[in-house]
Structure 1
Amino acid sequence: MEKSNMVQEEKFGEKDFQTIIGNLLRYGVWISLSVAFIGGIVYLMNHGSQIEDYSVFTENDRNIFEVIAAVYNGTISGDGASLIFTGIIFLFLTPVLRVLLSLFSFLLEKDYLYVGITLIVIIIIIISISFGFSH
């Protein structure tokens, strides 16, 4: 009888963990879309009448930490473009957090093949971000 309760608790924990991951994806997308939408409204309220000049492109030479600091400060001050970018960052982080939660789920299940595969995916994400912001 004791083993039966332990199996039921383990299955309940596994199902509960999958519910958490599902909610993370659902709410992460909704939050990111809401933040970006609010940022778009703020941006249009402040810059809606301006005409953008697309004939000149200037590359941003800042590193990732400077960009994150600028976006953070802009978001705190209510800058529309920074709010849009914050929404995009949230949208990017949603599946990344899902991969990290999956890693913990596989560790709890002691499914080491999938732990290894998930670690490879995390390494690929880290390398992609690193090379994406370096020159």
Structure 2
Amino acid sequence: MLKIERSIGYILRVGVIVSAAIILIGMLLLLFLPSSGPVPNSLPLIFQGLLRLNGEAFIMLGLFCLILTPVLRVVVSIFAFAKEKDYLYVAITIIVLVILIIGMSFGLVEK
């Protein structure tokens, strides 16, 4: 169990560090290459902005990674609990994941 907890902590640390690095790159790009277009607010627009080195797109990608970090932690927890054969916690964690997915889906539709 200690190994699993450490790996989950590692995932959270790496997710935050990667997100911060992407956001920092976006801030530096905005400093040197100011953007004049609209802020990308969907994944296709973010990826198009990344190809054009749009700083706002990098910042949005960093925020997206930051939001996905705890979701990844929930997914890893499902496998950790399954490995321990703790099926009650597997079920509870799956319910939490479904609630997260529903919440994110409503956020996408709310545009």
TM-score category (smaller protein): 0.7 to 0.9
Deviation of residue 15 (structure 1)?
A: 2.8
1:38 and 1:77 mapped to 2: Cα distance? 14
1:128 and 1:111 mapped to 2: Cα distance? 26
Q: Say whether 1:123 aligns with 2:98.
A: yes
Secondary structure of the structure 2 residue equivalent to 1:47: coil
Aligned to 1:108: 83
Q: Say whether 1:99 aligns with 2:74.
A: yes
Aligned to 1:16: 3
Which amino acid letter does the alignment assign opposite residue 67 of structure 2?
A: F
Deviation of residue 69 (structure 1)?
A: 1.2
Higher-Rg structure is 1
1:73 and 1:119 mapped to 2: Cα distance? 33
Aligned to 1:89: 64
1:24 and 1:77 mapped to 2: Cα distance? 29
Count of aligned pairs: 108
1:124 and 1:108 mapped to 2: Cα distance? 23
1:41-61 Cα deviation digits (max 9, x unpaired): 10122228x8xxxxxxx9x9x
1:80 and 1:109 mapped to 2: Cα distance? 44
1:2-29 Cα deviation digits (max 9, x unpaired): xxxxxxxxxxxx3322222111101110
1:59-85 Cα deviation digits (max 9, x unpaired): x9x8xxxx1111112113311000000
2:79 and 2:52 mapped to 1: Cα distance? 36
Using structure 2 for the length normalisation, give the TM-score.
Answer: 0.87
Which amino acid letter does the alignment assign opposite residue 39 of structure 1?
A: G
Using structure 1 for the length normalisation, give the TM-score.
Answer: 0.72
1:77 and 1:17 mapped to 2: Cα distance? 40
Consecutive unaligned residues of structure 2, counting only runs of 5 or more, are none
CA RMSD of aligned residues (A): 2.1
Consecutive unaligned residues of structure 1, counting only runs of 5 or more, are 1-13, 51-57
User: Relative contact order: is structure 1 or structure 2 higher (C-alpha 8 Å, sep ≥ 6)?
Assistant: 1
